[in-house]
Amino acid sequence: MKTKNFAIAILLTGALSLSSCEKFLEENPDSNEQLEVFFKTEAQATANVNALYRRGAPVRYGNAGSAYLGPTASIPTFLTGYFTNSYENQELVCAYSRQLVRQQNTRIVSNTMNSIWDDGYSAINIANGGIKHIPDIAMPNEQNKKVLIATSKFFRAFNYFYLVKTFGDVPMPTLPTEDLSNLYLTRTAAADVYKLIETDLKEAVEVLPAVTFTDNKKRITKYVAAMTLANVYLQQGKFADAATYSKMVVNSAHGLTANDDLKMNSAYNKLRKTDDLAESIYAYEFDGAINSSGWWTTYAFNGSATAVFDKYSIFERVYGPTKRFLNVYKADDLRIQPNQFFHWEYKNPNNEKVWKSDDAGVWYFVDESALLNTGRGTKDWNIYRYAEALLIAAESTAKASNAVTAEAAGYLARIKARASTTNKTVAQFTTELQGLSLNAFVEEVWNERLRELPLEFKMWDDCLRTGKFPNISTTEKGKITWVNLVGAQNASGATFKDSDLLWPISLDELQRNPELTQNKDYQATN
């Protein structure tokens, strides 16, 4: 994107020699090769495609590389005011997001946006290289070639999806940067970017293996691509298509994790502790010896935890729910009970010291082996779960049918029944939900998305696609009123403007590429 040398460096230094399953996370840069010879063999192509698993958009969700700032996909949620970072006096992007004053502080915000932009386009450049060159590589197994190309298309789409949601219209190169001919690209209309995303994902769905992510040795599958495509269609309000692809996932070998009890063997604790569940559709992989999960488990506490634990030097509530947000749950919802999604107290069994907090910590982030013993987290981070497939299927089926069908209600009922502490069955919830109007049912799906997915950074996407803001009652647990987003007050009392819907184009990128224009109300120069 910037210069020929820059683009080639990204393509080459981004390559990982990951052809063996055992060393999938192990980085081994191969930066001495020239671009024209890099795609000559199957091994090179495989390494090139494997690099995409830890480049660009997936990193936005899974990487916990800072003790003071969570994964960058968490930052848009601060716009709602329902989550805060206890270290926001240093991590100003969080404060300016929560206060809705990013426009006046474009340079500070832009420092974060610069990495999102550069990393996204570096991944797209690698994917474009694979899509262009892999067809010309001789391989004994033609299906393997098709899978490598399809995986490249998946990651190109996944990165463009992240970029278009973040910035709106963005440049859309579909060929790798190999000379000076396509350095300075103008912004492509978001609708056209979405068309490319849809095409890439549909092709990936047709080619990739129809097995679970775990059974495919944590490589991209048909159902990862279908889930992403369902999400893409939902984001655009294309409900019939979203229904088609979400139900492809719903009817697959993936499934909803069950509760063995409503305590430490609940579904939510299994999801917290256990990799490779059938509920996991797509995850960002970690390994204690090769690539640990960084600071994830420290985000579960506030700074006082340094007096209780000795494996980490810093604890910060970098993504902490406000008390008002926790009113999204009714009192009998399992997810709001202690040690399900959130917690307020923890006793260290190694030294008997107790951590307590009036503000909820995120129990879902706790990796107890790392916290108490090793200091190196191993728990994979789920990007897509089967629960979200059910929620997409519920909303899109109802909207496409223009009715609250038994099918649509049944999808949502499965989520509600798992979270119930009153032994209410799926059948009972289904009957109850069918009594709602279409609008009330859809809003109940939105409510359940807030309750089920608050820790997976989906909240702002929902605000964008619906044009609505969830006004959570301060007095009545479980009551949520959806109001028009622009003009609404967020939970910090700031009023949404239309320019709050997009992030600024990086000022560094604007300086490098004279063909780019800035988003509304943000600074275009330093």
What's the confidence (pLDDT) of residue 14?
Answer: 40
- Residue 355 to residue 307: CA distance in whole angstroms: 8
Query: Which segment of 113-117, 234-238, 361-365 scores lowest on mean pLDDT?
Result: 113-117
**Residue 315 pLDDT more than 90?**
yes
- Residue 489 to residue 469: CA distance in whole angstroms: 9
Work out the pLDDT band at 12, boundaries 50, 70, 90.
very low
Mean pLDDT to the nearest integer, 518-522: 97
Chain mean position to CA 231:
11
Please give, one letter per residue, the 3-state secondary structure of 29-82: CCCCCCHHHHCCCHHHHHHHHHHHHHCCHHHHHHCCCCCCCCCHHHHHHHHHCC
Please give, one letter per residue, the 3-state secondary structure of 336-376: HCECCCEEEEEECCCCCCEEEEEEEECHHHCCHHHHHHHCC
Work out the pLDDT band at 288, boundaries 50, 70, 90.
confident
Q: Which CATH number fits domain 4-207+503-512: 3.40.630.10, 3.20.20.70, 1.10.8.420, 1.25.40.890?
A: 1.25.40.890
Mean pLDDT to the nearest integer, 358-379: 98
Summarize pLDDT for 400-453 with one digit per residue, the tens: 999 999 999 999 999 999 999 999 999 999 999 999 999 999 999 999 999 999
Please give, one letter per residue, the 3-state secondary structure of 446-501: HHHHHHHCCCCCCHHHHHHHHCEEEEECCCCCCCEEEEECCCCECCCCCECCHHHH
pTM: 0.94
CB neighbour list of residue 514: distance below 8 Å, 6 or more residues apart: 184
| H or E element at residue 19 | none
**Residue 3 pLDDT more than 50?**
no
Work out the pLDDT band at 38, boundaries 50, 70, 90.
confident
Summarize pLDDT for 252-286 with one digit per residue, the tens: 999 999 999 999 999 999 999 999 999 999 999 99
**Residue 17 pLDDT more than 80?**
no
- In the structure encoding, which two tokens stand for residue 40, read together? 């000559």
Task: Indicate the average pLDDT of the chain.
Answer: 93
**Residue 22 pLDDT more than 70?**
no
**Residue 86 pLDDT more than 90?**
yes
Please give, one letter per residue, the 3-state secondary structure of 409-458: HHHHHHHHHHCECCCCCHHHHHHHHCCCCHHHHHHHHHHHHHHHCCCCCC
Residues 412/416/419/420 CA torsion (nearest 10 deg):
-160
Mean pLDDT to the nearest integer, 450-463: 98
- The domain locations on the chain are 4-207+503-512, 295-375
* Stronger pLDDT, 40 or 353, i.e. the higher one: 353
**Residue 5 pLDDT more than 70?**
no
- Residue 298 to residue 75: CA distance in whole angstroms: 17
Can you tell me which residue has the tokens 């996204």? 120
Work out the pLDDT band at 217, boundaries 50, 70, 90.
very high
Q: Please answer whether residues 342 and 361 qualify as being in contact, where contact means their C-beta atoms are separated by less than 8 angstroms.
A: yes
- In the structure encoding, which two tokens stand for residue 360, read together? 């909820």
- Three-state DSSP at 256 gives coil
CB neighbour list of residue 355: distance below 8 Å, 6 or more residues apart: 301, 304, 305, 308, 309, 345, 346, 347, 348, 361
Summarize pLDDT for 159-194 with one digit per residue, the tens: 999 999 999 999 999 999 877 777 789 999 999 999
Mean pLDDT to the nearest integer, 132-139: 94
